[in-house]
Structure formats: C-alpha cells, structure tokens
Structure 1
C-alpha cells in the first residue's frame, strides 16, 4: 500500500455549488512542494465518490490559469465530475538557468521524466502526473478509483495525449485543445527534449504522441482534439501529422478544426463544456 500523503489546503472558494480548492504537498517525484487544483462538485463526498478528469496546462501556466480562465466549473458541477489540475513544472528547485526562459524550465516541465544530470532529480512531471498525483488524489478526495480521464491545452495537450497513449486503459478518455502533437518536429519540443532528455532522439520518441499513436494497440481512448484554424502556433503544434498517424494506425480520432479560433483560453472556454460532457458520459458508462 502506498504511503499516505497529507494535503495542505491552500485556498477554497465556493463555485457553482461545489468547491474550487487548491492543495499542496511535498512531491517525492519532484522533490519539492507542489500545488494542484481540485474542483469538488456539490454532490461529491466520501459516500458518493465521483469520476475524475485530470487537466494539464500549457507553457508558462501554474495550477491557477485553468481554474480562473476557462469557466469549466459550471460544467463540472452540472455533470458531477471532479477536475484536478497540477502545476506545469517543479518550483523553487534552485537549478541554475531554470528561470531563464519562458519555454524551458519553470512553467515548462513538458510532462517528461528528465534524464540529463541537471534536471533528472526534479523534472519528473510524467511520473508525477501518471503515478504520484492519482495516488494522492485517490487517498484524499472522494473519487471513484479507475474512473479517470485526461485532457489538456497546448503543452498540456501533448501531456494528455502521451500519458494516455503510454498507459493503455489507465485513462478512459483523452482530449486536447491545440496540443503540441509532434514535438520531435517542433522547435518547442526539440528545445525541451534536448534540455531534459539529452541528444538521444530515440528517447525523445517515447514522448511524441504522433510516434506513440502509430504503434498503439490498447483499448479505445475516445480521442478528441479541438484546434483553431488561425492558431499562430500551428508550426509548433503540427496536428496534421497526428491526424495522419491515427488514420494509418486505425486509431479513432475526433479531430475538429474550428474556423477563426486562435490558441488561448477564449478558445478553450468556448468548447470546454463539450469536453466535460464527453468525459463524464464515457466515465459513467
């Protein structure tokens, strides 16, 4: 049995009948104090646990951006779904250079387990998201074990896709908004993979959703991607490569290209209700 972790309540605000909480604890994977948000819908308690959706945010974000910008709580309350959102990287690790750039280091963990000497002890966001955080949530919050799904935006969309594809059956549904779909072909991905994983491109492929989906043999993931047609970062996201890889592999994907929409939270907020409903419907099957 996993060692019990004691959560600290950082903040708690009532919202659409439920509670929008933020917690902190010392993460063994990240070797630092870390925070995550958890929206607890009004009908959830220890006698009435609910399914849980994990949300992964993008570059420069903390656990706060999604909960104040997307408006998801209205829909999570309606569908009686808990939504948990971790930070995007370790904080305060005092690693030289980790705060020098907006797209690498602090705020840019990229959901990988670093192997380079400088970052390997702290930048383990993949194992934190897939292994440690679900255990902590299931120990402390009223969720149904094994009724979990995952979603995310941009860098977090990349994270959601790889976490689902690398762990068949662990998540019942995986969706993403404007994900970095083929990071080994993206300057964002190449920069972070080089810094966290070194020069071995074979290792990079283990965290590339386009590569992973091409050899996926697990159960249906109910994959959905929403993408804005005028997203200024399309050259970094490269969704068409992922779409083609899904077709070749025979993996079902609901890819929706929305005319005139860009990249940010105005886009996410427009369609988040549809994603929440999809996750809720699948998790309750």
Structure 2
C-alpha cells in the first residue's frame, strides 16, 4: 500500500496552489485524501508554518477549500493550510452511512475504543500521522510551527486537540464549535457508539471538561458563533465553554455574530480574522 502521498489535483489561487493528495493511512486502515494550500514562496528554500482546518459533519477535505475563501489571507500571511477529511472512508462497516451525524463524514476527531469502529482513529490521524507525513514529504512546510482551527464538529476537534497538545499548537480558533458534546445529542450518539458507556471516557473529548485539566493556555482562544445558527441552543451550547475557561483562567473570546447561520457563508465572512489570529501566534 502506498503510504507516501500522491498528488491528484492542483489549482492556482492567489499566487499559490490548492493541491489535493491521497495516501494510504495505516492509522485508519484506508486510503485518505487531504488538501494543502501552498502560498507563493518568497524564496525557493522558504518554509511555511501550517494551519490545520478540521471540517464539520458530512464534509470532506473539499468543502473548506472550495467555500471558505481562506486562501487570500493565507497567501498574504504566508501560511500553508492543511485540510484533512473527516473520517475513514471505504471500509464498508455495517451502519457507517445510515445517518449523517455518525460514521462516514462524522469521525469526531477521537480514537474509538469499540471494536466495530476500531478504524475511527481520527485523533491519532490528525495529531500523529498527518504531521509526520507532512514533515517527511513536504520540505516547504515547517510542521513545528502549527496552529489549528475548525467548524462545528471540527471546532470540537480543534479545541480538544489543542487543549490536549498545548506543546504542539501555537493557537486555536473555532466557528460554531460543539463545545460540550457530552450534553448534546450529536455528541451523545457519537460517544456512545465510538467510546461505549463510560462518561469518564467521553469527558476526554469534551472541551468544556478538558479546560479543567489543561489550562496553561497563553494565547486567546477565538470563537465565532452565528446568532441565527439553527443548532445553537440544542447542539452547540456555546456559553458552557467560556464559563469553564473563566473558572480556570483560560483566555477566550466568544463573539456572537447577529444574523449569521451555521454555513460556509458565515465562515467566509470571518475567516480573515481567524487567519490573522493564527498568523500573530505563529510569529509571522
């Protein structure tokens, strides 16, 4: 199986290139796709810091690249965007595509412990396998200088991965993140199936719970939330996280944006703010 990434498409944008790759992932046991946006290099030997984007439920590695408009600011700031997929694919596990909020396209950025879903190890894929793959195959990337952000399920992923790996990422931000999954239907469904019944295991993937354990945060956590988001009150529970942050002295900026929903129209509107937030932390 070819673990080395091979390029499957390339499109020029704002002087740089959106390039799509595929590779076999030993962590997930299947072939995976990911995108990299390479800004225009100021010199042949230049190395770009990396900013990982984690997408939400139902998304692939393509949604953000096509819809966010993040490349303009990334090009200006000299940051490479790394956009992985949201789950293993093609494993044909029974029930993997029965619903949009679980299974395929819904990896929740955790390591599943239940035998049936043993390939759903997106946490290890994002935190361990992908950075190593990038470091070994793309000399133009400085993978030691990394930040992370995401949307909805991906916002949950970005926050939890950041808090558990404060030594690996310079900053984090999120759009409409699922900040307290143990207390919402999306999280409860995913966690029960992937992790079993132990609530203690669930808390290891809940940003609001993790803040109590990992609060040596020096860079402000930026969160944007649309006020007209239809998932706001039942699934996203945005106020829970800043309450926990305040209790433990973690700097957070939660901005409610009037009139905005859960879509990429919302993300595209505020994406430049987030790129600049990370550019500052990456010392550009």
TM-score, normalised by the number of residues in structure 1? 0.96
Tell me the CA shift for residue 43 of structure 1: 1.1
Match of 1:262 in 2: 261
- Residues 11 and 209 of structure 1: is their aligned pair in 2 closer, same or farther, counting only changes over 3 Å? same
User: Distance in 1 between the 2:44 and 2:210 partners?
Assistant: 37
User: Distance in 2 between the 1:276 and 1:219 partners?
Assistant: 19
Match of 1:86 in 2: 84
Tell me the CA shift for residue 222 of structure 1: 2.7
| Mapping of residues 112-131 of structure 1, within 5 Å | 112-120=110-118, 122-131=119-128
Match of 2:132 in 1: 135
Tell me the CA shift for residue 212 of structure 1: 0.3
Aligned residues of 1:164 and 1:221 also touching (Cα < 8 A): no
- Residues 221 and 93 of structure 1: is their aligned pair in 2 closer, same or farther, counting only changes over 3 Å? farther
User: Distance in 1 between the 2:43 and 2:52 partners?
Assistant: 18
Tell me the CA shift for residue 260 of structure 1: 1.2
1:118 aligns to what SS in structure 2?
Answer: helix
User: Distance in 2 between the 1:193 and 1:41 partners?
Assistant: 37
TM-score, normalised by the number of residues in structure 2? 0.96
User: Distance in 2 between the 1:143 and 1:126 partners?
Assistant: 21
User: Distance in 1 between the 2:176 and 2:143 partners?
Assistant: 29
Equivalent pairs, count: 281
Aligned residues of 2:6 and 2:23 also touching (Cα < 8 A): yes
User: Distance in 2 between the 1:26 and 1:224 partners?
Assistant: 34
Q: Name the Cα RMSD after superposition.
A: 1.3
Q: 1:206 aligns with which of 204, 207, 226?
A: 204
Larger deviation: 257-266 or 138-147?
Answer: 138-147
Match of 1:38 in 2: 36
CA deviation profile, 1:179-217 (whole Å, cap 9, x unmatched)? 000000010000000110011111000000000012223
Point out where structure 1 has 5 or more consecutive residues left out of the alignment.
none
Point out where structure 2 has 5 or more consecutive residues left out of the alignment.
none
Tell me the CA shift for residue 46 of structure 1: 5.9
Aligned residues of 1:169 and 1:219 also touching (Cα < 8 A): no
Tell me the CA shift for residue 278 of structure 1: 1.2
